[in-house]
A = this chain, B = another copy of it.
Amino acid sequence: MSATVVEIVKSKNLKQKPNDDKLGFGKYFTDHMFVMDYTSEKGWIQPKITPYEPISLDPAAVIFHYGQTVFEGMKAYRTSDNKILLFRPDENFKRLNMSSERLAMPPVNEEEVLEYLKQLINVEKDWVPTAEGTSLYIRPFIIATEAFLGLAASKQYKLVMILSPVGSYYTGGIKPVSIKVEEHYTRAVRGGTGMAKTAGNYCATFNAQTKATSEGFTQVLWLDAIEKKYVEEVGTSNAFFKVNGEVITPELSGSILPGITRKSVIEMLKDWGVPVTERKVSIEEIFQYHKEGTLEEVFSTGTAAVISSIGELEWNGQKITVNNNKIGDLSQKLYDTLTGIQTGKIADPYNWTTEVK
């Protein structure tokens, strides 16, 4: 299906683009954004590309008080022959709608919004950076805008898509990170909102993250909230363990975000004939495998870093080192293949990429 071409209001003040080596993450934004409004009477209306500009909301808007909002995160990559590729964007809009369902928010037409995104990227195509490892990060989000303090789902929403050129996570190869198992704070629990990409899940982690950083760790590993026993996620990425040739990842329990990188990794491993199992896996079990010498690789997956190698893991005062604190062969192969497909360097046998024309 092909969506209507949206109204485009061009910015009259184009920004100076930052250098590719200064990008960092989520600091710079392009000249334009996409906006579309929702009312319960009319549905989604007035899709528009406008200059990147402040959002103006009534102080009583539901987003400020009851946090009704969902978001997504994905990337556009520039290929060496100057094409622009998106990686499984259909999966992101599908997950956006899943998140919205949990938050009592209206769904969008996934195909239509993807079309709008492509039109936005087309307007901003010069903003897709070129240096190795860089990309254009895409942040669609929906916020509840009705001015009403009653405790009920908003009747008005705004969908916004903004774009941010982002730098390379890795300069000079992947360096394994040091992770700490979080014992006190919890990220999510069954029956809660952990499976949805919604704002409240993220601010809830800032204290734990700050504590971990001050103790010299890169991230925390979250355990389930109920038994404080089973591995859930690593920061905002999904956890994988290679044990004796088999890859194990926590099953989607209802409190874990169903990562698209996670899904892609599972599909690739199956395709390669590597045994991969989604199941409950306890942190005790992982430490036991290490003791027995069968814990071969630990890594996590997510849009930001694609594959992140985990070299050290601390739990309960014990610290283990995985694969001599070096990235494992399988982690490296997954990283190379995934980023190869994303940037058009290697063939895409799974049909995961979509060109923005």
Partner of A65, one of B189, B202, B225: B202
CA distance A226 to B255 in the complex (A): 13
In the complex with contacts A26-B149, A192-B189, A199-B33 CB distance below 8 A? no
CB of A133 within 8 Å of the partner chain: no
Chain A residue total in the interface (Cβ 8 A): 69
Q: Mark A49-68, 1 if CB is under 8 A from B, else 0.
A: 00011111111111111111
Inter-chain contacts of A60 with B (CB < 8 A)? 26, 29, 139, 162, 164
Copies of this chain present: 2
Instruction: Tell me if B25 and A150 are in contact (CB < 8 A).
Output: yes
Does residue A122 face the partner (Cβ distance < 8 Å to B)? no
Q: Which B residues are in CB contact (< 8 Å) with A103?
A: 203-204, 206
A70: nearest residue on chain B (CB-CB)?
B203
Closest to A153 in B: B206
Across the interface, do A150 and B26 meet the contact criterion of CB distance under 8 Å? yes
Interface pair A204/B200, CB less than 8 Å apart: yes
**Residues of the B chain whose Cβ atoms lie less than 8 Å from the Cβ of A147:** 29
Q: Is A309 at the interface (CB under 8 A from chain B)?
A: no
Of B64, B71, B162, B189, the residue contacting A225 (CB under 8 A) is B189
Q: Which residues of A contact B (CB under 8 A)?
A: 24-27, 29, 33, 52-69, 71, 102-104, 137, 139, 141, 143-144, 147-153, 160, 162, 164, 184-193, 198-207, 209-210, 225-226, 235-236
